[in-house]
Amino acid sequence: MKKFNLSVAFLLFLGGYCLQAQERIPQVEALLEKMTLEEKIGQLNLLTPGGGIATGSVVSEDVEAKIKAGNVGGVFGVSSPERVRQAQELAVKNSRLGIPLLIGSDVIHGYKTTFPIPLGLSSSWDMDLIRETAKVAAKEATADGINWNFSPMVDISRDPRWGRVAEGAGEDAYLGSQVARAMVQGYQQEDLSEPNTMIATVKHMALYGAPEGGRDYNRVDMSRTKMFNEYLPPYKAAVDAGVGSVMTSFNDIDGVPATGNKWLLTDLLRERWGFNGFVVSDYTSVNEMIAHGMGDLQDVSAMALKAGLDMDMVGEGFLTTLKKSVEEGKVSEEEITTAARRILEAKHKLGLLDDPYKYSDTSRPETDILTKENRDLARLAATQSFVLLKKKDNILPVSKKAKIALIGPLANNQSNMLGTWAPTGDFTLSVPVLEGFRNVAPSAKITYAKGANITNDTALAKKVNVFGSKVEISNESSEQLLQGALKVAKASDVVVAVIGEASEMSGEAASRSNIQIPESQKRLLRELVKTGKPIAVVLMSGRPLDISEEMEMPVSILQVWHPGVEAGNAIADVVFGYVNPSGKLTMSWPRNVGQVPVYYGERTTGRPAPTQEFEKFKSNYLDVKNSPLLPFGHGLSYTNFQYSEIKASKENLRSVDSLKISTTVTNTGKLEGQEVVQLYIHDKVRSITPPKKQLIDFKKISLAPGESKTVEFQVTVEDLKFYNSQLEHVAEPGEFEFFVGGTSDCEMQGSFTLTE
């Protein structure tokens, strides 16, 4: 008996040792051994020198002193190989242990080569393309010294009032998960120690995209089943793809701010999902827990650490209070060691512990940044992100032989092309639409007129212009601008009206309660329509807009988001028909803001509304239909596609089997085109109310005129799973309907049964 006990103890010891040997990195452990409590706390501190960098100095005084003192684990807002080398030297040559810094940045949709805003990129439904844009962003950013990126933002958003919908992939958990994975793969690739890869950060954990009233930073309240089924999957997909860090969100969850939420950061993220990277707060979100009502700075810092937060962005609560909390027994040194270990492990993964200057190669910016290939990719990505919302006659594509009136406040504008959250980009390098038209159609007769200001509301303009002038109110009166445009329009064969939102009318802290095109531009369009000329509207925005009025006008509408550095060229490629638009919306567009949130995957009710007419005592409105103006998955083409022979390979699916759902898609028009073929299911009977429709797969195909292709989807029990009220991931036997088409608004095509 004694012998048995001894060998069990020995095995346990050995097991523990192996576990430790497998998980712990000797280089990191050796460092931790040497570190004082203060030095460990220093690793948890993330600072930004802010404006100092932009104006040329390496780092501002106190940041420099703190780095030298070993009080900083990372910085952001510092770039270029030279400056990053200087920053690293401060740490390596001056701090006692010489531990290099993480160098962070918000590389949201490209670094210097700015790609379309993420909501636009997601509309391409092309994961290879999205992965490639992230790869190029990583190559450029690392060439400029960055080793850690605060992207991808994967917050599911169904409320277009919220300005940050521009930064994500829209309303759907399945599509959002694909995009999350593709971006993490693009930034990190196979090996983080390669000099052209950087650590990705999935953000903002969690549910940040569901703020009450669509108001930024607002509270969030949501059931667990909704979280697990509809909002959490993209974060989990990023974790499963090996994302190196996670950023917390500003909002609360179940009344506890995410930054101090142990259930979220430890029970779910680490224990249930197995995340083993590090967790960073959002900008001062530790300190903001004071305003949330969680206590003073010492309380909230201790709360965040104990919840599982490893790094404190900007607020310095960790730096200034954690030691005291250890002394008072409020946190343990072990908890601080654990967080410091995670930061050091990230530095190890990047290879920084061996070579602190590996991102300081001064030859790289020239060869890697803003190359022709990178700009070509930006142009391609932009064309793929455009969504043809409405077709009227054959206004689009426009003939190069036509006399073209190019009109609108965004038609010859450079400052808004990059879109929101492009702080690393340079708008002066972007191609305005007029220039793009001249590049692509040099012999075309193009006349430009501004026609209107983006908005005449000077108070709004001031709020939008915080990062530089995006809205310029002309010295000419509105009437003069309008008359100038009407004159140009009347003398033309076709009008291309480039209108919409300024880039900073969406993005962070840019919520809107009225999501229409600004009135100054609505008026311009109404007057242009009165000329009777064919009109193609090129619409820019960072969010779904309420364009109910414009959809009724006799115009074609091409949605181009904010297209990035190659804006004008990409728009010209599509307007002149060199590229056929193929994007599909990833967020539903409402008929009016009162319908919000409106999304295709809403769960069933007991009193479903009739599809068209109002009916008393049904779930509908007196004054508007339930359906969105433009559904998720919608997007037209210059050609037409016909779906036929939609069928399932069998009627019953056993849990160990799979079945095939297939369809034939034919290009019935005269131009080559791409179509995103979408597969949705509806679980007819299950233990919690199911979504009316749920995307489970899609394929993007290309078809020559007259060509047909058969598209096959493999369906397994995994595709039918959901989180039940015990939060178990299960598929329940019973009947499933399926729907196939080029929009979420497609018809039911058949059903199959999942058997035990």
**Distance in Å, CB of 508 to ligand BGC, minimum:** 6
CB of 78 to ligand BGC, least distance (A): 13
Among 32, 73, 90, 106, binds ligand BGC (CB under 6 A): 106
168 vs 233, beta carbon nearer ligand BGC = 168
Q: Are 450 and 480 in contact (CB under 8 A)?
A: no
Nearest CB to ligand BGC, comparing residues 106 and 312: 106
Q: Which lies closer to ligand BGC via its Cβ, residue 194 or residue 508?
A: 508
Q: Residue 249 CB, nearest distance to ligand BGC (Å)? A: 8
8 A C-beta contact, residue 244 and residue 201: yes
Mapped to the 3 state alphabet, what secondary structure does 529-568 carry? HHCCCCEEEEEECCCCCCCHHHHCCCEEEEECCCCCCCHH
Residue nearest to ligand BGC (CB): 150
**Whole-number minimum distance, CB 101 to ligand BGC, in Å?**
16
Burial class (CB in 10 A: 0-12, 13-18, 19+), 194: middle
For ligand BGC, the closer CB: 21 or 291 = 291
- What backbone phi and psi angles, to 5 degrees, belong to 122? -65, -30
Q: What single DSSP character describes residue 199? A: B
- From residue 517, give the alpha-carbon distance in Å to each of 509, 512, 514, 550: 19, 11, 9, 9
Q: What is the 3-state secondary structure (H, E, C) of 93-160?
A: HHCCCCCCCEEEECCCCCCCCCCCCHHHHHCCCCHHHHHHHHHHHHHHHHHCCCCEECCCECCCCCCC
Contact (Cβ atoms closer than 8 angstroms) between residue 68 and residue 59:
no
The two tokens of residue 446 are 């193009």
The DSSP line for 458-504 is HHHHHHHGGGS------SS-HHHHHHHHHHHHHTSSEEEEEEE--GG
Residues 194-213 that bind ligand BGC (CB under 6 A): 203
Q: Do the beta carbons of residue 635 and residue 583 sit within 8 Å? A: yes
Q: How many other CB atoms are found less than 10 A from the CB of residue 603?
A: 13
Q: Residue with structure tokens 């993490």?
A: 184
CA distance 448 to 552: 25
- Which lies closer to ligand BGC via its Cβ, residue 215 or residue 403? 215
Binding mask 723-752 for ligand BGC (x = CB under 6 A): ------------------------------
**Which residues in the 485-514 window bind ligand BGC by CB under 6 A?**
508
Q: How far is the CB of 150 from ligand BGC (least distance, A)?
A: 4
In sequence order, the 6+-apart residues with CB closer than 8 A to the CB of 511 are 161, 162, 163, 214, 215, 216
Closest distance of CB 250 from ligand BGC, Å = 7
Residues 148-177 that bind ligand BGC (CB under 6 A): 150
Helix (H) or strand (E) holding 22: helix 2-23
Q: Sign of torsion, CA 88 143 282 27?
A: negative
- Residue window 132-151: x/- pattern of binding to ligand BGC, with contact defined by CB under 6 A: ------------------x-
d(CA 389, CA 387): 6
Least distance to ligand BGC, CB of residue 282, Å: 5
Q: End-to-end alpha-carbon separation of the chain, Å?
A: 46
Nearest distance from residue 423's CB to ligand BGC, in Å?
8
Catalytic residue check, 282: yes
DSSP 281-325: --TTTTTHHHHTTS-SHHHHHHHHHHHT--BEESS-HHHHHHHHH
Q: Which residues of 409-420 are buried (b: 16+ CB within 10 A; e: fewer)?
A: bbbbbbbbbbbb
**Could you tell me whether strands 673-683 and 734-741 are parallel, antiparallel, or unpaired per DSSP bridges?**
antiparallel
282 binds ligand BGC (CB under 6 A): yes
Looking at the Cβ atoms of 283 and 722, the one nearer to ligand BGC is: 283
Is 573 an interacting residue with respect to ligand BGC (CB under 6 A)? no
Q: How many residues bind ligand BGC (CB under 6 A)?
A: 6
A 10 A CB-CB count for 530 gives: 10
CB nearer ligand BGC, residue 290 or residue 717: 290
Binding mask 339-358 for ligand BGC (x = CB under 6 A): --------------------
CB-wise, 126 or 140, nearer to ligand BGC?
140
Q: Is the CB of 245 or the CB of 416 nearer to ligand BGC?
A: 245
Instruction: Write down the least CB distance from residue 206 to ligand BGC, Å.
Output: 13
Calculate helix-pair angle for 317-327, 333-350, nearest 10 degrees.
140
Among 162, 283, 448, 698, indicate the residue that binds ligand BGC (CB under 6 A): 283
Q: Which of 106, 144, 252, 282 is catalytic?
A: 282
Output the smallest distance, CB 510 to ligand BGC, in A. 12
Check residue 216 for interaction with ligand BGC (CB under 6 A). Answer: no
Those residues with Cβ within 8 angstroms of residue 428's Cβ, 6 or more apart along the chain or in another chain: 414
Between 49 and 356, name the residue whose CB sits nearer to ligand BGC: 49
Give the contact letters, 74-93, x = binds to ligand BGC (CB under 6 A), - = no.
Answer: --------------------
Shortest Å distance, C-beta 294 to ligand BGC: 19
Distance of CA 178 to the CA centre of its chain: 12
Residue among 169 and 377 whose Cβ is closer to ligand BGC: 169
Residues 283, 288, 292, 298, CA torsion sign:
positive
Closest distance of CB 161 from ligand BGC, Å: 17
Pick the closer one to ligand BGC by CB: 150 or 235: 150
From residue 276, give the alpha-carbon distance in Å to each of 2, 229, 341, 438, 591.
38, 23, 11, 52, 44
Question: For binding to ligand BGC (CB under 6 A), which residues are involved?
Answer: 106, 150, 203, 282-283, 508
Residues forming the active site: 282
